[in-house]
Amino acid sequence: MLDHRSVNENLEEVKARLAQRNAQVDWDRFSSLIAERSQAIQAFEQRRHEQKTKSTEFGRYARDPEEGPKRRAELKELSDLIKDLEKRQGDLEAELEEFMLHLPNVPHSSTPVGGGEEDNVVVRTVGEPGSYDFEPKAHWDVGTDLGIIDLETATVVSGSRFVLYRGMGVYLELGLAMFMLDVAREAGYEPVMPPYLVLRDAMVGTGQLPKFEEDAFKVDDYFMIPTAEVPVTNMHRQTILEEEQLPIKYVAYSSCFRREAGSAGKDTRGITRVHQFQKVELVKFTRPEDSYEELEKLTANAETVLQRLELPYRVSALCTGDIGFSAAKCYDIEVWLPGQRLYREISSCSNFEDFQARRANIRYRPAGDKKPKTRFVHTINGSGLAVGRTIVALLENYQQADGTVTIPPALQPYLGGKKVIRRGEW
């Protein structure tokens, strides 16, 4: 959420910046809300002050047969008026809050300006796509032939857009997760396994709600997490941290659940877009002045996984038209998939600045000075990595002509020393 005061102070600039990300905003409504709210608050507070003064004074006259009833009646009238004023103030504040919750974040100055995916900027390409003396297959063929990905059975059990891993597919999933956790641990992240069901407030805190409710699965009053970013970022909601604690770094392993509303027909083959997948997520809480440096580091931490797995990839800076609702800056890490001959997103690393912190009310107290005012932290997160898509990348990049898949050395210790995945072996 943006701060309505600073938006109001920099109105023209914010208008222009949000227009770059194609946000439709009723700015006239914003301006009138600001004015009405301020007016309502002042009216209420003025009367409230009057009431406090007179009520205290009333104590002296309460039992006076002359003054008592007279003053009581007068105060009753004032009290009724105040109730109306208070309600009006509350209504306006709620309306402004609702308005602000629907505004996306302002893109950072380093975010490329552009209308859509085609305007994203590749900032680096790492590793060379391998060469194959046969036609590399897509992962759905490789995985199905090996018997480690069973899409047909998943459909029987749960319908479309689900995956069922079996045999070595299971160990691949868990081994990769452990490997990624270790990479993050080396970089100083504390491991977390969060709840998969969260309160509505948590979803509002990280920006999934109220605007994107149709994207989430709901169970009773709970929401199923679309990413561990939600429970992990909200670990510190409504709290004031000490500056010495920052940066706080967590790595979480969790399943993620997404409706994939609005992506009908997109990526229907294979396991790149399913309703449930697992992901290792990196989350940081930092001082504002450090957040962009920390974003670079976090992105590098995610890249380490690909480098050790020796998978070719590239990193793109998303443009203003393609960036997520809550993000000010975002890098996508895309892994090369020879079977499909394309780069596919495997991680998305974003700096939200204080956008989430303001929603979830996550602050810190600067060290040093006598009476430091609390400030909002900056939050950063990124996948490190999406496990399912990493399996996709391994299957497509390490497939052999005979249908087997070799396991990169860095991962072998996590798979009991196994070097090759063969059909029927687990």
Partner RNA sequence: GGAGGAGUGGCCGAGUGGUCGAAGGCGACGGUCUUGAAAACCGUUGACUCUUUACGGGGUCCGGAGGUUCGAAUCCUCUCUCCUCCGCCA
Contact set with RNA (CB under 7 A): 5, 38, 41-42, 44-46, 48-49, 51-52, 55-56, 58-59, 62, 72, 75-76, 78-79, 90, 240, 363, 370-371, 373-374
The active-site residue, picked from 291, 316, 348, 383, is: 348
- Can 55 be counted among the known catalytic residues? no
- Can 93 be counted among the known catalytic residues? no
Measure the CA–CA gap between 347 and 349, rounded to whole angstroms.
6
Residue closer to RNA (CB basis): 266 or 373: 373
Work out the number of other CB atoms within 10 angstroms of the CB of residue 55.
13
Q: The dihedral of CA 130, 132, 138, 143: what is its sign? A: negative
Q: Which two three-digit tokens encode residue 113? A: 């300006």
Minimum CB distance to RNA, residue 374 (Å): 4
Q: What is the dihedral of CA 106, 214, 390, 388, to 10 degrees?
A: 160
Minimum CB distance to RNA, residue 288 (Å): 14
The active-site residue, picked from 258, 344, 358, 363, is: 258
Measure the CA–CA gap between 154 and 274, rounded to whole angstroms.
11
Q: What angle do helix axes 168-186 and 387-397 make, rounded to 10 degrees?
A: 110
Residue closer to RNA (CB basis): 52 or 218: 52
The active-site residue, picked from 237, 291, 389, 396, is: 389
- Can 258 be counted among the known catalytic residues? yes
Minimum CB distance to RNA, residue 287 (Å): 15
Residue closer to RNA (CB basis): 36 or 260: 36
Residue closer to RNA (CB basis): 14 or 148: 14
Q: How many helices (H) and strands (E) does the chain have?
A: 12, 16
- Can 273 be counted among the known catalytic residues? yes
Concatenated DSSP letters for 322-386? TS-TT-SEEEEEEEEETTTTEEEEEEEEEEEETHHHHHHTEEEE-SSSSSPPPEE-EEEEEEEEE
Buried b (16+ CB within 10 A) or exposed e, 161-173: bbbbbebbbebbb
Minimum CB distance to RNA, residue 62 (Å): 4
Residue closer to RNA (CB basis): 153 or 374: 374
Minimum CB distance to RNA, residue 375 (Å): 8
- Can 71 be counted among the known catalytic residues? no
Strand extents, DSSP E, 116-247: 121-126, 190-192, 197-198, 218-219, 222-224, 239-242
Minimum CB distance to RNA, residue 94 (Å): 10
Measure the CA–CA gap between 106 and 213, rounded to whole angstroms.
21
218-219, strands of its sheet edge to edge: 197-198, 222-224, 218-219
Residue closer to RNA (CB basis): 123 or 240: 240
The active-site residue, picked from 47, 259, 273, 422, is: 273
Burial class (CB in 10 A: 0-12, 13-18, 19+), 408: middle
Q: The dihedral of CA 31, 35, 37, 38: what is its sign? A: positive
Residue closer to RNA (CB basis): 61 or 212: 61
- Per the DSSP assignment, residues forming a β-bridge with 240 are 363
Minimum CB distance to RNA, residue 379 (Å): 17
Strand extents, DSSP E, 66-131: 121-126
Minimum CB distance to RNA, residue 109 (Å): 25
- Length, in residues, of the chain: 426
Q: Is 371 helix (H, G, I), strand (E, B) or coil?
A: coil
Q: Is 356 helix (H, G, I), strand (E, B) or coil?
A: helix
Residue closer to RNA (CB basis): 59 or 159: 59
The active-site residue, picked from 259, 296, 345, 375, is: 345
Instruction: Give the residue numbers annotated as catalytic, written as ranges.
Output: 258, 273, 345, 348, 389
